Structure 1
């Protein structure tokens, strides 16, 4: 079968299309004939080689989520999965015509949700949902989404709006993106530095930070008293080593900073929320924003667009 492998970590040219063996399901696994593959920020971080401690080596097939039809299951897996349309979190191995997944990381899809929409929404919306919960967001609080043009950011904007936020600020790179985010519920559009809208609140109760990097400290300063900043991504790299000084220097503001990973959510809770979000998307209450649909062989082009910062929503690969 055809798959995209990382032959050299770094820029997107290190990804190549190659023939690899069809996977065989082991205990607790199933094989999915892919109809759509989500291209996410974590894929780009892995491809750049900037993430350590996970044992990634050349020859790796990237791709953390797919949707398609189950074609085979492990001996200990319920055979009723065979032939069902599913969304699956694969961790790696998703950029392929067939992908392996653990049965606990698979959710059945209804006919009302396309495979393309499923991989646009399946990981990002639960991250946004649980990140807001991790921040203890409540109705009538103000929310700022830093780096709102990606699929996690868009979901956070819609979910904060749906949850009764008093204001939903976003940071993004252009007026055009800001207009699209307003259509999705944003009330204030800021530039990447957090300025540019004189009517925006001076501080926010909750900040969902998908960017990270050296400017993280500047956004700690935008927290209201008792404000909570939750880092869910680091596409701009690690925060400065001394970012904690910003918290201590504003000690009397009782601000806090946390990280969040979906890995910490028990599988039953994660799957239940994902099913609810899929249902809401099927009803048109939430939106899976697709930037582009590209063939599997253009995975490198998808990553070039992500590196250039031109993607609004998510790029989806199809076999």
Structure 2
């Protein structure tokens, strides 16, 4: 079968379409004829070779979420699963392929009215956004800042916060055009990447935004990371909570915690969040609820582009260039 392999870590050009053996479902697994693949930020981090500690090696097939039909079942799996249209988490890799295996506990049936394209735009990001907000103890009426809101996690967090009755939903993004799209999804304030009021371009401040004191927030969801992390800690209100859910710009500097200790009396806090710490049943329940909400049009899947499987390198180039709003989806 065809699959995308990381021949060399680094630039997107290190990925290639190759022939690999078809996987076989082990006990408790299903084999899925892949129709769509969600291209996520973690895929780019793995491809760059900057995610240490997981033992990735050259030849690795990336991709962690797919949608398609179950075509075979391993031992212990009810054969009635065969033929069902599902979303699946494939683990840390294996998804950029014509067929993929997944544990049955990591499979969610798609409701009528939800396409496989929308499923991979929502299936991974939606539960992350939900549980990250819960991890930050976000409550109705509170103010929220989402740093890096143009990706699939940020877009879901905007919508969920709006549905949850947020007092203010501020977002950082790269352009006024993206800000307008995020306002349509529920954002109430748009900031540039530095966290300042966005003017006519992402690098400008105008009017009151340039001179007024910077707003503070009860909760900050940080999907970006990188060297500017400490400056956003300084945007927390008293008892404010910052939750890091991604490091697409790299790890924060080693001394970023000084921003917390320097304002000890304000009881600010910083936490990390990974969906790995949520019980499988809990994340599956939320995913099913979000799929049903999307089928009813209560939640919106935002897809930047749909590309063929051999367009994976192009998808990664677009992510590296910061062009993507929502999620790029590969089709097989």
Output the TM-score relative to the length of structure 1.
0.99
Cα shift at 1:196: 2.0
Distance in 2 between the 1:78 and 1:266 partners?
Answer: 22
8 Å contact from structure 1 (residues 292, 314) kept in 2: yes
Q: For 1:257-308, what per-residue CA distance to the aligned partner results, in whole angstroms no more than 9, with x for missing partners?
A: 0000000000111100110111111111111000000000010000000000
Cα shift at 1:112: 1.2
Q: Which residue of 2 aligns with 1:124?
A: 125
1:195 match: secondary structure: coil
Q: Which residue of 1 aligns with 2:240?
A: 227
Q: Which residue of 2 aligns with 1:239?
A: 252
Is 1:275 matched with 2:288? yes
Cα shift at 1:29: 1.1
Mapping of residues 162-181 of structure 1, within 5 Å: 162-181=163-182
Mapping of residues 180-195 of structure 1, within 5 Å: 180-195=181-196
Distance in 1 between the 2:297 and 2:173 partners?
Answer: 24
Q: 5+ residue gaps in structure 2?
A: 199-208
Is 1:86 matched with 2:70? no
Mapping of residues 1-319 of structure 1, within 5 Å: 1-91=1-91, 92-197=93-198, 198=209, 202-319=215-332
Output the TM-score relative to the length of structure 2.
0.95
> Which is further off, 40-49 or 192-201?
192-201
8 Å contact from structure 1 (residues 87, 109) kept in 2: yes
Q: CA RMSD in A?
A: 1.0
8 Å contact from structure 1 (residues 188, 200) kept in 2: no
Cα shift at 1:40: 0.2
Q: For 1:233-270, what per-residue CA distance to the aligned partner results, in whole angstroms no more than 9, with x for missing partners?
A: 00000011111111011011100000000000001111
Distance in 1 between the 2:114 and 2:47 partners?
Answer: 29
Q: 5+ residue gaps in structure 1?
A: none
Cα shift at 1:21: 1.0
Cα shift at 1:201: 6.4
8 Å contact from structure 1 (residues 85, 108) kept in 2: yes
